[in-house]
Each structure stands twice: as structure tokens, then as C-alpha cells.
Amino acid sequence: MMLTSESHVNFHKSSYSSAKGQDCVEFAEFATGAAVRDTQNRELGPLSFPPLEWTALLRSATGQ
């Protein structure tokens, strides 16, 4: 799944991002999956995941 338009997507800063505003990552979840992007380089676009891959990524990251 590719995210072609970000106009309908609401990105949120990850709670794991740096408090100083550096090393920030934003994420968005939507009906057809999820996406992440670098806050300081938004023009590079997001990295999109279909729902099953997003779930697997979150489980892997949290050790579940």
C-alpha cells in the first residue's frame, strides 16, 4: 500500500521522539494501514505499511 496523498492523513509525533525536537518521528494510522515519517525531513515523504505489516512491526518493537 502506498500513501499517495497526505492531505487526509493526520500525523502525530511519536511519544518516543526526543523532547528537544531532534530525532522526531511522526506516525499516522488510517483505514488501509499506517505510515511513518521523519519530522525534520517531511518533504521526503512517509514510509507506508499495510495493516498486517504495521501490526507486526509494533509487536516486534514492543517485544510481544
Of 5-9, 11-15, 56-60, the one with minimum mean pLDDT is: 5-9
Tell me, what's the pLDDT at 1? 45
CA nearest to 28, candidates 9, 44, 47: 9
Q: pTM of the predicted model, to two decimals?
A: 0.71
Dihedral through CA 2, CA 39, CA 61, CA 57, nearest 10? 0
Average pLDDT, the chain: 80
- Amino acid 26 reads E
Three-state DSSP class for residue 39:
helix
Q: Give residue 12's pLDDT band: very low, low, confident or very high (50, 70, 90).
A: confident
CA nearest to 49, candidates 60, 57, 59, 38: 57
